[in-house]
Amino acid sequence: MEPILLYDTTLRDGTQGENISFTAKEKIQIAKRLDDFGIHYIEGGWPGSNPRDMQFFDLAQNTTFNHARITAFGSTRKAGIAASDDPNLQALLQSNTPAVAIFGKTWDLHVKQVINTTLEENLAMIFESVEFLKNNDREVIYDAEHFFDGYKDNPDYALQSLMAAVDAGAQFVVLCDTNGGSLPSEIVSSMKAVCSAFCEKYDTTKDALPFKFGIHTHNDSGLAVANSIEAVDCGAVMVQGTMNGYGERCGNADLTSIIPILYFKMNRPCVSSENIGKLKKLSRFISETANMIPLNSRPFVGKSAFAHKGGIHVNAIMKISRAYEHMEPDLVGNKRRVLVSDLSGKSNVEFKAKELGVELAANGVDSREIVAEIKRLEQEGYQFEAAEGSLKILLEKFSGQFKPLFELKSFRVHIEKDAERPCTAHATIKISVDDKEEITAAEGDGPVSALDNALRKALYKFYPEIENMRLIDYKVRVIDGRAGTAAKVRVLIESRDLDNIWSTIGVSEDIIAASWQALADSFQYKLAIANDKT
């Protein structure tokens, strides 16, 4: 069976998503990771649209890629000018990429009412643009923009637009669900009709056509992955998408879902067996570079993708994992997680302790006692399923295995505000490490920020490895608002370093005290990991 070619457009289409932007240097770093993973085509950007993308292509020419073909993206020529005179097409050539992708109008609505030209001129724009790039020794990937909407409204013209690209020599014709509104059944019926029309034109079978089909879908109806998979079943051999589904509006088809579905569920080779296990790390690297918090519920690579909470479920997966899992998580570089909460039983606690590396039986600890203690603490407002860092510390304390890597002696937080200036926060902290005391002070944007900065400053002298640790999320929730300003609050802190993400929790009537609990646990957890590695 023909292998599937993966076309990644994270660096171009992905950056059209809200709050996502990459420097040219970051694009190169991402492209190198995509290449290492085994992506076949990496769309670097639109060189005719902005200087940053042109800078990327300049850098790419001096970068070695072992697997991927770097691809420049642009549009067909403008109406009324020759292809050789079109600045966009010239910019594509100047990018010096082995492959180029150009989009053209398939929907007659766009031709008449958006670019305001004739149907005949649009066909000439497609043909001449593809021909010009082919004559300049480029592999040409033609993206039929809005194909499925165009095919619904005017199937004859939509087909003519595809045939113009094929007649000019396009190696790939990519059918695009640009608005993301198509259903899987519509993808199937349209693709079958198109394949039939081309087979009739060339008097051959689908596999012998002089070009290959591709698919490019958007997720506005939540169906981008499903539509891409249906297209593959209908004969598409190139799948375009983005890592983590980044993209405009609701995003593009998510390659972190498509790749394992192709590989494991459909037996369609797309990456090597050695590389498929790197998928989660690749997903995390791109979210980190994009400064986006990873989506826990993302299939296959999300933190919660293989998480279990119910005691019956946990008891079952301890016996046979496929009873409650559709695949082994380590196949994509993920791991099984068991959540501990007030719904937990012995199985949850025992599994979780083993996962976190805490020995219970060897220390004579009865897991039923721990379950009872967790349920008592959750009654007070703790939520350990969302704070595994604090859970590990709790289990270690309960079993007498906790070894604090620093101890708090005291801290003081001072907040100042006058009529003209904004609030300022200052924190002074005294800690002890191996009986050596350290006193430091720091400022911050608020009391917790100041306390965090002061603790980092104090610890850095003893543990320089905290330099790569940072807080990525801070949440406060009032547990019971009936007590007004004296109500108990829950503080959840999420932190990360280069390899891990972990969460910690604090609960108190005092928001600073709750924040300190979560903050201290976070640093204790990080330092314990670093200490274990050494």
Check which CATH number belongs to the domain holding 141 and give it: 3.20.20.70
- Domain edge (last residue) among 346, 377, 398: 398
- Domain edge (last residue) among 373, 398, 423: 398
Tell me, yes or no, whether 456 and 345 share the same domain.
no
d(CA 488, CA 477): 9
d(CA 302, CA 322): 18
pLDDT of residue 215: 98
Apex CA 230: angle with CA 130 and CA 257, to 5°?
95
Tell me, yes or no, whether 382 and 423 share the same domain.
no
What residue type is assigned to position 69 of the chain? Answer: R
Residue 387 belongs to what domain range?
A: 307-398
Residue 438: CATH number of its domain: 3.30.160.740
Do the domain assignments include residue 496? no
- Which pTM does this prediction carry? 0.76
Tell me, yes or no, whether 125 and 250 share the same domain.
yes
Number of neighbouring beta carbons within 10 Å of residue 150: 27
Helix (H) or strand (E) holding 407: strand 407-416
Tell me, yes or no, whether 112 and 64 share the same domain.
yes
pLDDT of residue 57: 96
Do the domain assignments include residue 517? no
Q: Which residues in the chain come in under a pLDDT of 70?
A: 310-311, 341-345, 361-365, 481-486, 533-534
Count of structural domains, the chain: 3
Tell me, yes or no, whether 28 and 98 share the same domain.
yes
Tell me, yes or no, whether 259 and 375 share the same domain.
no
Tell me, yes or no, whether 198 and 174 share the same domain.
yes
**E runs forming strands in 460-500:** 470-478, 489-496
Tell me, yes or no, whether 412 and 369 share the same domain.
no
Question: Strand, helix or coil at 387?
Answer: coil
- What six digits make up the tokens of 297? 């519920």
Do the domain assignments include residue 300? no
Do the domain assignments include residue 86? yes
Q: Is the separation of the CB atoms in 261 and 229 below 8 Å?
A: yes
Do the domain assignments include residue 292? no
Tell me, yes or no, whether 65 and 204 share the same domain.
yes
- Domain edge (last residue) among 438, 462, 486: 462
Tell me, yes or no, whether 379 and 342 share the same domain.
yes
Strand pairing of 436-444 and 424-433? antiparallel
The torsion defined by the Cα of 368, 373, 374 and 379, in degrees rounded to 10, comes to 130
Tell me, yes or no, whether 138 and 52 share the same domain.
yes
- What six digits make up the tokens of 472? 């990525």
How far are the Cα atoms of 196, 511, 518 from residue 391, in angstroms, in the given order?
59, 20, 11
d(CA 323, CA 6): 32
Do the domain assignments include residue 284? no
Q: Is the separation of the CB atoms in 512 and 447 below 8 Å?
A: yes
Tell me, yes or no, whether 338 and 447 share the same domain.
no
How far are the Cα atoms of 13, 15, 94, 246 from residue 249, in angstroms, in the given order?
11, 11, 31, 9
Rg (CA), the chain: 28
Q: Is the separation of the CB atoms in 188 and 215 below 8 Å?
A: no
pLDDT of residue 534: 60
Do the domain assignments include residue 531? no
Do the domain assignments include residue 485? no
